[in-house]
Amino acid sequence: MGILFWLVVIGTALFLVSRKRFSLPVATAAGAGILLLGSLSGFLSGFFGVLLALVFIGLAVIFNVRSVRHRFVSLPLLKYVKAVLPPMSETERAAIDAGTVWWEADLFRGSPDWDKLKNYPEATLTAEEQTYIDGPVEELCAMMDDWEITFELNDLPPRVWQFIKEGRFLGMVIPREYGGLGFSAMAHSEVVTKLATRSVTGAVSVMVPNSLGPAELLLHYGTDEQKNHYLPRLAVGKEIPCFALTGPSAGSDAGAMPDYGIVCKGQHEGQEVLGMRVTWDKRYITLGPVATLLGLAFKAYDPDHLLGDVEELGITCALIPTGTEGVNIGRRHFPLNQAFMNGPNSGKDVFIPMEWVIGGQPMVGQGWRMLMESLSVGRGISLPSNGVASGKSTSRFVGAYARVRKQFNLPIGKFEGIEEALGRIAGLTYTMDAGRRLTCAALDQGEKPSVVSAILKYYNTENMRTVVNDGMDIIGGKGICMGPNNFLGRPYQAIPVGITVEGANILTRSLIIFGQGAIRCHPWLMDEITAASLPDRQEALESFDEALMGHIGYAIQNGARSLFHGLTKGAFASAPIYGSNAKYYRRLSRMSAAYSFLADFAMLFLGGGLKRKEMLSGRFADGLMHMYMASAVLKRFEDSGRPEADQPLLEWSVRYSLFQTQVALDQILRNFPNTPIGLLLRGIVFPLGRRYRTPNDKLTQACARILLSESDARNRLTEGVYLSDDPLDVTGSIEHALKMVVAAESAERKLKAAKRTQPYGMDYPTWLQQLTAEEVIDKTDEAALIKSAEATHRIVMVDDFPNEMKQGSVASSASGANSDRATEV
C-alpha cells in the first residue's frame, strides 16, 4: 500500500477525531486496527513497527486499566497540580466565581457552535426606549456645550444637572417600580454612547450612578427597607451617589485596602445600637465632591466578638449619607481637565449603624463577592459605549473634515496616507460597535459575562485611543488648539481615564482576561482544581481522574482539529451561512482550535506560574479578544441584513481580527517557555505557516471612502452620534460643511475644467461673479461655491483668545503630595 493510502488513513483519522469525541475503548480499538493494517501491509514493519506496537500496547494498558492509570498517570499528575497551583485567596476565588461564561467559552474551547451565535437574540430597543433616546437624550445633548462645561464652569451647568435628575438619567438601571427607567443594557448603552459623542463630562456624570454603585448593589443585595428608601430617591437624583473603593495604597489591588470598620456599639438617632466605627481614606471617586450618598468599601473587624467567633470579617459595603458627622468629602481632582466631579474622601472613627451596611448585618464581610458579582454588567456597558462613541464621532466628523479640508488642491481624505488612517477608524469603529451590540445582547439575556465584559472594556478603550489618535493626526492643528470649536481635543485628553478606570487596561489584559477566562471557560480545569483541593485522598484521586480523562480527550481533539484545519485551511470547518463570508467562520474555527490547544499546553507547562507570565497571558488575552470581536462583527453583519455597502467594513474587521489572533498565537509560540515543545506546537498550529494577512490597501481605501461622503453605510456606522443641524454648532458646522462641499461638487468640476486661477488681490466672491459673467459657471454654481467656501472656512478656523486670558486658577488651592510646590507655582 502506498504513501497515498496512508495519507488518506491519517487524514481520515484526523478528520474523525477533529469532529467527534470517541470513548477510550473505541479510540484504542481504532488505534489497534490502524497498527494492524500497517503491519499486515508491511508499512509498519521492522524495528520501528515493533517499537510503535509496544508503545501503543503500553499506553493502551495504562489508560484503559483504571488502577494502572490511577497509579501511573492520575496520582503523579494530581501531586503535580497540587504543587504548581498556588493557594487561591478568598478574593481571587470570589473574582473567579463571579458572573457567568457565555459565547467566549465556545471560542476558548476550540469548537464554536456558530448556530448558537446566530440564534442569540439581537440587542434591540423597545419603542419607549427609542422615544427616550430621540427625546430627552437629544435634548440633553443639545443643552451641553462642552467648552462651557469644561473651561468656563468646570461643572455641568445647573440647568443640565436639573434636567439629568428630572429626566431620571441617573436611574436608568433602577426598575420602574422604584421610579427608575428600568432600561435594558442596550438602551443604557445607547444613552451613554449618544451623550459621550457630545460631552465626556456629561456622559461620565450619567454613566457612573448607572454602573457599579449604590443602585446596582442595592438592587441585588439591599434589604427591602434600603431599597424602598434609597432607590426612588436615587432614580430622580434626590440622592447623588458615588462608590468609593480606591485609595492611595490600594488601586488595582483594591482587595488590599487598609480602610477598616470595628464592630461596636454607638449612638444613632438617640439610641445605642450595634454598628461600626469606620476609618477610611479614598481618592479618585467619581461624583464624590457632590455626592449625598457615599457607597464605601472597607474591611470589617470584630475584636470584641459582638457578632460571633470570627474576628476578621472581610470586605463590607455600606451606604453613608455624606452629611454624617466626620465624613470629609467635597474636594476635587481634575482628571485630565475633564469637568466631571471626582475627588477624595475620608473619615476617622465615623460611627455607622449596622442598618447602613448594604444588605444589613448578614452581609457584613460579603462586600468583595458583591462587587465582583456586580462588576461585569457596568463594565460591559459604560466604557465600551464611550469607546464606541469616540469611534462613531471620529468616523463621522473627522471623515467629513477630511472631505472638506483641502491641501495641494485635493481633499486631504483622498491622499493615501490619510486613507490608511480613515480606513482604520472606520474598521475599528465597526468592530467596537459590533462587540458592544453582542455584549449588550448577552446582558439583556440575563448573563453576567465577566470575561466578555473585561474583553470589551479593554478592546473598546484601547481602540478608542487608536481611532482618536488617528483622528487627531488627520485634523492636525484643528484638534490641537483648544476652544469652543475643537471637537476632538477634549475626547483625546480623556482617553487615559477610560484606560485606567473599571480595571486598568494593562492589568485587565495581563491578568484578568485569560487568567479568569482560562479557569472559567475551560471545560475541565476547574474540576481538576476542585478535585486537587479535596481533603479526602481517594475522593480527590477519583474526581481528578475523571476530569483528567475528559481533559486529555479534549486536548487530543483540539490538537487534531488544529492540525486538520491548519492543513486544509479550515475548508472543512463548519459555517452557519453560505456564500463568500462563510470562509471567515471557518477561519475563526481554525484559530479557535489552535488557541484552545495552545492554551492547554501553556497551562500544562506553567501551571500556576502562568499567572506571573503576564506577557504570555496577555497574548492569550489578545487571541481570545480578537476572536470574540471577529465573531461579533460576523453576527452584526448578519443581524443587519447583510447590507452590501457594509461588506468592506465586515471584511476589514474580520481580516484585521484574524491577523491579530494569528500574531498573538505566533508570539505565544515564539516565547513558549520550552523551545522544542514550542517548535512542535508550531507544526500543529501553523502546519502551512501563517497565512492570514492584514486588510489590503484596496479594502482599507473602500472603508475610508465610506467616511468621505453621505451614504447609508456612513449613517449605519455612525448611528447614535448626536447630530446638530445648527451650522454654527461645534459639530453641526462640520456636517453642514460636508453638505455644502458635496453640493458644490459639479460647480468645482466646471472651475477645474476651465483651468482658471483666482487672480491675486481679487477676493473669491468677486472672482466667482466674474466667472458667472463670463458664463464659465452659472448663478446656481456661484451660490453653491460661495456657501461651500463659507462653510469650509468656518470649520477650518480655530479659536484664538486675548493674550491676557489664563487657563485655570487652581494651583494655589491644591493639596496632596506636591501641595507645597503647587502653592509656590
Ligand X SMILES: Cc1cc2nc3c(=O)[nH]c(=O)nc-3n(C[C@H](O)[C@H](O)[C@H](O)COP(=O)(O)OP(=O)(O)OC[C@H]3O[C@@H](n4cnc5c(N)ncnc54)[C@H](O)[C@@H]3O)c2cc1C
Shortest distance in whole angstroms from residue 84 CB to ligand X: 19
Q: Which of 187, 412, 443, 511 binds ligand X (CB under 6 A)?
A: 511
Residues numbered 515 to 534 that lie near ligand X (CB under 6 A) are none
Residues numbered 695 to 734 that lie near ligand X (CB under 6 A) are none
Q: Does 501 bind ligand X (CB under 6 A)?
A: yes
Catalytic residue annotation: 502
The DSSP output letter for 100 is B
CA distance 486 to 151: 12
Q: Which of 17, 149, 495, 497 binds ligand X (CB under 6 A)?
A: 497
Residue in this structure with the C-alpha cell 469603529, named with its chain if needed = 429
Stretch that binds ligand X, among 243-251, 452-460, 542-550, 677-685 (CB under 6 A): 243-251
Closer CB to ligand X, 405 or 490, in the complex = 490
Closer CB to ligand X, 516 or 731, in the complex = 516
Closer CB to ligand X, 178 or 284, in the complex = 284
Q: Which of 219, 507, 677, 796 binds ligand X (CB under 6 A)?
A: 507
Closer CB to ligand X, 221 or 243, in the complex = 243
- By CB atoms closer than 10 A (0-12, 13-18, 19+), residue 408 is exposed
Q: Does 608 bind ligand X (CB under 6 A)?
A: no
- CA of 492: how far to CAs of 119, 200, 456, 473, in Å? 38, 10, 20, 11
CB 377 within 8 A of CB 297: no
Q: Does 251 bind ligand X (CB under 6 A)?
A: yes
Q: Which of 366, 500, 631, 700 binds ligand X (CB under 6 A)?
A: 500
Beta bridge partners of residue 811, listed in sequence order: none
The residue with its CB nearest to ligand X is 251
Q: Which of 75, 274, 506, 776 binds ligand X (CB under 6 A)?
A: 506
Q: Does 620 bind ligand X (CB under 6 A)?
A: no
CA distance 626 to 659: 9
CA distance 589 to 583: 10
Q: Does 286 bind ligand X (CB under 6 A)?
A: yes
Shortest distance in whole angstroms from residue 187 CB to ligand X: 23
Closer CB to ligand X, 504 or 645, in the complex = 504
Element (H, E) at 84: helix 75-84
Query: Residue 331: left (phi > 0), alpha (psi -120 to 50), or beta?
Result: beta
Q: Does 244 bind ligand X (CB under 6 A)?
A: yes
Instruction: Please tell me the count of residues contacting ligand X according to CB under 6 A.
Output: 21
Closer CB to ligand X, 17 or 257, in the complex = 257
Closer CB to ligand X, 283 or 437, in the complex = 283
CA distance 761 to 555: 78
Shortest distance in whole angstroms from residue 144 CB to ligand X: 19
Nearest to 613 by CA among 547, 693, 686, 674: 674
Closer CB to ligand X, 402 or 497, in the complex = 497
Query: How many C-beta atoms lie closer than 10 Å to residue 793's C-beta?
Result: 11
Identify residue 725 by its one-letter amino acid code.
Answer: D
Q: Does 453 bind ligand X (CB under 6 A)?
A: no
Element (H, E) at 392: helix 367-393
CA distance 695 to 205: 38
The DSSP output letter for 460 is H
Stretch that binds ligand X, among 14-22, 238-246, 574-582, 631-639 (CB under 6 A): 238-246
Q: Does 613 bind ligand X (CB under 6 A)?
A: no
Q: Does 614 bind ligand X (CB under 6 A)?
A: yes
CA distance 392 to 433: 9
Q: Which of 189, 201, 210, 246 binds ligand X (CB under 6 A)?
A: 246
Q: Does 504 bind ligand X (CB under 6 A)?
A: yes
Stretch that binds ligand X, among 268-276, 348-356, 506-514, 591-599 (CB under 6 A): 506-514
Shortest distance in whole angstroms from residue 519 CB to ligand X: 16
Nearest to 637 by CA among 655, 649, 624: 649
Closer CB to ligand X, 209 or 365, in the complex = 209
Q: Does 445 bind ligand X (CB under 6 A)?
A: no
CB 247 within 8 A of CB 258: yes
CA distance 392 to 817: 39
Q: Which of 17, 123, 285, 650 binds ligand X (CB under 6 A)?
A: 285
- CA of 508: how far to CAs of 497, 505, 555, 622, 625, in Å? 15, 5, 27, 11, 12
Shortest distance in whole angstroms from residue 302 CB to ligand X: 25
- CA of 788: how far to CAs of 734, 747, 782, 792, in Å? 11, 10, 10, 6
Q: Which of 28, 366, 386, 510 binds ligand X (CB under 6 A)?
A: 510
CB 398 within 8 A of CB 425: yes
Stretch that binds ligand X, among 30-38, 148-156, 284-292, 302-310 (CB under 6 A): 284-292
Stretch that binds ligand X, among 124-132, 187-195, 223-231, 499-507 (CB under 6 A): 499-507
Q: Does 335 bind ligand X (CB under 6 A)?
A: yes
Q: Which of 245, 388, 421, 594 binds ligand X (CB under 6 A)?
A: 245
CB 200 within 8 A of CB 340: yes
| CA gyration radius, the chain | 31
Stretch that binds ligand X, among 138-146, 185-193, 237-245, 708-716 (CB under 6 A): 237-245
Stretch that binds ligand X, among 110-118, 503-511, 694-702, 815-823 (CB under 6 A): 503-511
Q: Which of 114, 169, 284, 368 binds ligand X (CB under 6 A)?
A: 284
Long-range contacts, stretch 618-621, CB < 8 angstroms, 24+ apart: 618/509, 618/510, 618/514, 619/664, 619/665, 619/667, 619/668, 619/671, 620/513, 620/514, 620/517, 620/518, 620/595, 620/664, 620/668, 621/455, 621/458, 621/508, 621/509, 621/510, 621/512, 621/513, 621/514, 621/517
| Per-residue interface string for the shown chain with ligand X, residues 339-358, x marking contact by CB under 6 A | ---x----------------
CA distance 705 to 746: 19
Beta pairing, strands 260-268 & 293-301? parallel
Closer CB to ligand X, 189 or 510, in the complex = 510
Shortest distance in whole angstroms from residue 593 CB to ligand X: 29
Stretch that binds ligand X, among 218-226, 463-471, 497-505, 529-537 (CB under 6 A): 497-505
Shortest distance in whole angstroms from residue 710 CB to ligand X: 36
Nearest to 448 by CA among 526, 388, 516, 511: 516
Give the interface with ligand X as residue ranges (CB under 6 A). 242-246, 251-252, 284-286, 335, 342, 497, 500-501, 504, 506-507, 510-511, 614
